[in-house]
């Protein structure tokens, strides 16, 4: 009797564990994407930047990133390697600030809701993770960049033909992250009916529901969607008609103008000397779409 009971418990526990790992089906590029080699700048000076002084003192740089967005900021759960476009941009900036990107970076995964907090308390030195520049956020923190221009788009199943853009969503179930700007736009512009709006904590959960045919479209920035489409090109596709502009910036402490100028210099330089292009081609560019570095906004 005892043994039987124990076996039942074991089976239940095993199926629970399966359920847990099954949900994280995002999988992703195993072994990490090729890291772009960076030349570490020597004798870097950033006058009057408290953040830079702190980094110098530690001899390391702490960068806030996303860990659940394939192609942008993704942590391989097995190897703990970070990969993606945002990660490569973060490495590029670190190298130009005089830190070896292979040995002197600490990545810290920070979810969207905690970004401002992490930056203003100094938990991270700067943040690179699909961070849309907007005026309200500029009141709390500062932005360097933009380093990428994304736009809201739709991810659908590859066999779908009736969703062609934002105006064909009526009567379709649309999913995005809880409270995110993309889903708020869908609500405000009444792109679909209120009962057809679905919100989950993570985009990967929306993608799961899309594959399970519970919903018809996932909406957010095209950069994020391309990452998912590239993972499962047989089953998923991006519609490719963006209907917003999301300039991605590097988040940093509010009053650190010196560091902001420095990072803007780095980004401008990488756009002209081809570094930016190399980074893009090694990551998001693999989805088959091209992109140009946006003009840096020195506000």
Partner 1 sequence: MNILVEYGDVLARGFLRTIELFLLAAAASLVLGTILATLRVSPVPALRAVGAGYVTLLRNTPLTLIFFFFVFAYPKLELIQFPFFTAAVIALTIYTSAFVCEVLRAGINTVPVGQAEAARSIGLGFAQSLTNVILPQAVRAVVPPLVSVLIALLKNTTVAAGFSVAEVGSVIPFLNEQGEPTLNAFVWIAIGFLILVIPLTLIQRSFEKRWSVAR
Using the Cα atoms of residue 146, residue 59, residue 32 and residue 200 in order, give the sign of their dihedral.
negative
Residue 114 binding partner 1, by CB under 8 A: yes
Asked whether the beta carbons of 147 and 283 are under 8 A apart, the reply is no
CB 253, CB 142: distance < 8 Å:
yes
Residues between 119 and 138 with contacts to partner 1, criterion CB under 8 A:
134-137
Is residue 16 involved in binding partner 1 (CB under 8 A)? Answer: yes
CB of 162 to partner 1, least distance (A): 22
Q: Residue 179 or 233: which CB sits closer to partner 1?
A: 179
Identify which of 148, 166, 141 has the alpha carbon closest to the alpha carbon of residue 156.
166
* 117 near partner 1 (CB under 8 A): yes
Interaction of residue 113 with partner 1, rule CB under 8 A? yes
φ/ψ bin of 252: left (φ > 0), alpha (ψ from -120 to 50), beta (otherwise): beta
Q: Is residue 244 part of the contact set for partner 1 (CB under 8 A)?
A: no
Please identify which residue in 178, 190, 269, 273 interacts with partner 1, judged by CB under 8 A: 178
Number of residues near partner 1 (by CB under 8 A): 32
Give the Cα separation of 41 and 134 in Å (integer). 31
Q: Does 164 bind partner 1 (CB under 8 A)?
A: no
Q: Nearer to partner 1 by C-beta: 99 or 203? A: 203
Binding site for partner 1 (CB under 8 A): 12, 16, 19-20, 23, 112-114, 116-117, 134-137, 139-140, 177-181, 184, 195, 198-201, 205, 208-209, 212, 214
């Amino acid at each position: 009797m005892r043994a039987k009971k124990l076996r039942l418990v074991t089976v239940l526990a095993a199926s629970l564990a399966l359920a847990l790992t099954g949900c994280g089906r995002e999988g992703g590029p195993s072994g990490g994407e090729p890291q772009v080699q960076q030349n570490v700048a020597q004798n870097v000076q950033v006058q009057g930047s408290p953040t830079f002084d702190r980094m110098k003192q530690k001899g390391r740089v702490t960068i806030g990133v996303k860990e659940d967005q394939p192609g942008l900021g993704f942590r391989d759960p097995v190897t703990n390697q970070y990969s993606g476009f945002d990660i490569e941009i973060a490495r590029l900036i670190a190298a130009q600030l005089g830190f070896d990107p292979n040995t002197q970076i600490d990545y810290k995964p920070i979810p969207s809701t905690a970004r401002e907090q992490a930056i203003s308390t100094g938990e991270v030195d700067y943040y690179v993770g699909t961070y849309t520049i907007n005026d309200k956020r500029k009141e709390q923190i500062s932005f360097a960049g933009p380093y990428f221009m994304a736009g809201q788009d739709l991810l659908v199943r590859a066999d779908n033909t009736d969703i062609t853009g934002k105006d064909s969503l009526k009567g379709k179930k649309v999913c995005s992250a809880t409270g995110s700007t993309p889903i708020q736009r869908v609500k405000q512009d009444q792109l679909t009916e209120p009962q057809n709006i679905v919100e989950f904590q993570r985009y990967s959960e929306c993608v799961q529901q899309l594959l399970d045919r519970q919903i018809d479209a996932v909406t957010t920035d095209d950069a994020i969607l391309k990452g998912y489409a590239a993972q499962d090109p047989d089953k998923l596709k991006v519609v490719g008609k963006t209907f917003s502009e999301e300039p991605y910036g590097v988040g940093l402490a509010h009053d650190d103008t010196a560091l902001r100028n420095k990072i803007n210099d780095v980004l401008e330089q990488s756009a002209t000397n081809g570094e930016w292009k190399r980074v893009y081609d090694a990551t998001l560019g693999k989805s088959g779409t091209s992109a140009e570095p946006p003009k840096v906004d020195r506000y």
